[in-house]
């Protein structure tokens, strides 16, 4: 098991915001217990730097369950998979190329758009002068180009004019990353869980993200995500026609990006109530009750252990096919 434990990075002096993407001890314990229930023999490795030492020392494993987010750079989620491929060790989830591509929201959207799938128009702001070149009409939405878990997103991310955009771009300089600016999608928001690889990929389920009035706004921000139990409802999407459209877009996006084993796709309705791709998470959170993918699995009658088993089975099946 390779992962980034939040408390490890806080002990190293990282801020709460910088460590928010990393996993809790509760997640790692639940994952370890599920693997044992599946009659595997899990071993905790920890983060990528520890993995490096273990590999150099000659340690090898039949399969690595990798959920390490990485620390630096827009390709950080690709670091552990690249190491494991260098040593010819199988692992769960997507390969280095897909992990790097999907963390960069602009590159992801270009590939989704080139596949003929609906995603809002966008541009990338690398310096303030770039704001003069924006030709999209307001309202817009802005977020760091290569962050997850809602980092850098709050109510001010919804932009009504250029002055608000300039203020936000200055504020987001703290992430030392370009800013993705896209057309604001005003409709309902959904997240779709997907399991499998290639022709075996299938939709697990879809739930709606309903932000409650107690959240003080309608944006699915970092603060709202951190307190989702009190601020968000996650009902299963019941409208069959709409669910079919949302899930078709999600699965086509997953396949176009060549994701593996499992992932989660975020979809929002545009001004014409048409599903539109927002982003895709190839290393979905796996806390049993707090993370979206396990919540979706529970709604579909799949236990946490069964979910982890499906991810492992997918990784093993494609590994054996490659032999």
CB environment 222-252: b (16+ within 10 A), e (fewer): bbbbeebeebbebeebeeeebbebbbebbbb
Helix (H) or strand (E) holding 195: strand 189-195
Q: Are 173 and 190 within one domain?
A: no
- Among 162, 183, 204, give the residue marking a domain's end: 183
Q: Answer yes or no: is 101 within a domain.
A: no
Q: Answer yes or no: is 219 within a domain.
A: yes
Helix (H) or strand (E) holding 114: helix 105-114
pTM of the full structure: 0.94
- Token pair in block for residue 284: 């979905």
φ and ψ at residue 159, rounded to 5 degrees:
-110, 130
Helix (H) or strand (E) holding 82: helix 79-86
pLDDT at 116: 98
Q: Are 173 and 193 within one domain?
A: no
Q: Answer yes or no: is 104 within a domain.
A: no
pLDDT at 44: 98
pLDDT (tens, 9 = 90+) of the chain, 323 residues, equals 999 999 999 999 988 878 888 999 999 999 999 999 999 999 999 999 999 999 999 999 999 999 999 988 889 999 999 999 999 999 999 999 999 999 999 999 999 999 999 999 999 998 888 888 898 999 999 999 988 767 788 888 999 999 999 888 877 777 778 999 999 999 999 999 999 999 999 999 999 999 999 988 888 988 888 888 899 999 999 999 999 999 999 999 999 999 999 999 999 999 999 999 999 999 999 999 999 999 999 999 999 999 999 999 999 999 887 65
* Spatial separation of the C-alpha atoms in residues 1 and 294, rounded to whole Å: 18
* Spatial separation of the C-alpha atoms in residues 142 and 157, rounded to whole Å: 5
- Asked if 321 and 196 touch (Cβ cutoff 8 Å), the reply is no
CATH code, 153: 3.30.1490.20
* Spatial separation of the C-alpha atoms in residues 58 and 261, rounded to whole Å: 27
CB atoms within 10 A of CB 100: 22
pLDDT at 322: 65
Q: Answer yes or no: is 41 within a domain.
A: yes
Q: Are 43 and 71 within one domain?
A: yes
- Asked if 228 and 290 touch (Cβ cutoff 8 Å), the reply is yes
Q: Are 176 and 202 within one domain?
A: no
For residue 199, give the DSSP letter.
G
- Token pair in block for residue 79: 């670091």
pLDDT at 83: 97
Q: If we measure between CA atoms, which residue out of 207, 257, 3, 243 comes closest to residue 105? A: 257
Q: Are 140 and 247 within one domain?
A: no
What total number of domains does the chain contain? 3
Region for residue 264 given its phi and psi (left: phi exceeds 0; alpha: psi -120 to 50; beta: otherwise): beta
Q: Are 227 and 312 within one domain?
A: yes
- Among 136, 156, 183, give the residue marking a domain's end: 183
Q: Answer yes or no: is 109 within a domain.
A: no
Q: Are 56 and 177 within one domain?
A: no
CATH code, 238: 3.30.470.20
Range of the domain at 224: 186-322
Q: Answer yes or no: is 111 within a domain.
A: no
Q: Are 197 and 245 within one domain?
A: yes
Helix (H) or strand (E) holding 295: helix 292-299
Q: What residue has token string 């060790």?
A: 89
């Amino acid at each position: 098991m390779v992962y980034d434990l939040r408390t490890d990075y806080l002990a190293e002096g990282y801020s709460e915001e910088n460590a928010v993407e990393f996993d809790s001890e509760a997640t790692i314990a639940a994952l370890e217990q599920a693997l044992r229930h599946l009659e595997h023999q899990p071993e905790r490795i920890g983060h990528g730097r520890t993995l490096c030492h273990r590999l150099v020392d000659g340690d090898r494993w039949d399969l690595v369950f990798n959920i390490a987010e990485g620390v630096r750079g827009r390709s950080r989620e690709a670091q552990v998979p690249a190491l494991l491929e260098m040593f010819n060790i199988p692992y769960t989830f997507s390969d280095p190329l897909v992990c790097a591509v999907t963390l960069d929201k602009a590159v992801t959207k270009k590939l989704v758009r080139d596949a003929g799938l609906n995603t809002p128009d966008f541009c990338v702001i690398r310096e303030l002068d770039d704001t003069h070149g924006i030709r999209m009409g307001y309202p817009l939405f802005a977020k760091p180009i290569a962050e997850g878990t809602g980092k850098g997103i709050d109510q001010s991310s919804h932009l009504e004019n250029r002055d608000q955009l300039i203020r936000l771009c200055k504020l987001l300089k703290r992430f030392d990353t370009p800013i993705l600016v896209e057309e604001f999608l005003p409709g309902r928001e959904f997240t779709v869980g997907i399991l499998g690889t290639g022709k075996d990929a299938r939709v697990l389920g879809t739930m709606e993200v309903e932000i409650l009035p107690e959240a003080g706004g309608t944006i699915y921000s970092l603060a709202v995500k951190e307190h989702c139990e009190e601020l968000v409802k996650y009902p299963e999407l019941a409208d069959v026609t709409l669910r079919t459209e949302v899930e078709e877009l999600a699965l086509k996006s997953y396949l176009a990006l060549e994701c593996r084993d499992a992932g989660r796709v975020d979809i929002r309705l545009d001004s014409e109530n048409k599903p539109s791709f927002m982003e895709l998470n190839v290393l979905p959170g796996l806390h049993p009750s707090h993370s979206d993918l396990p919540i979706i699995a529970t709604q579909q009658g799949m236990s946490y252990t069964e979910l982890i088993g499906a991810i492992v089975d997918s990784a093993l099946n494609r590994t054996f096919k490659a032999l």
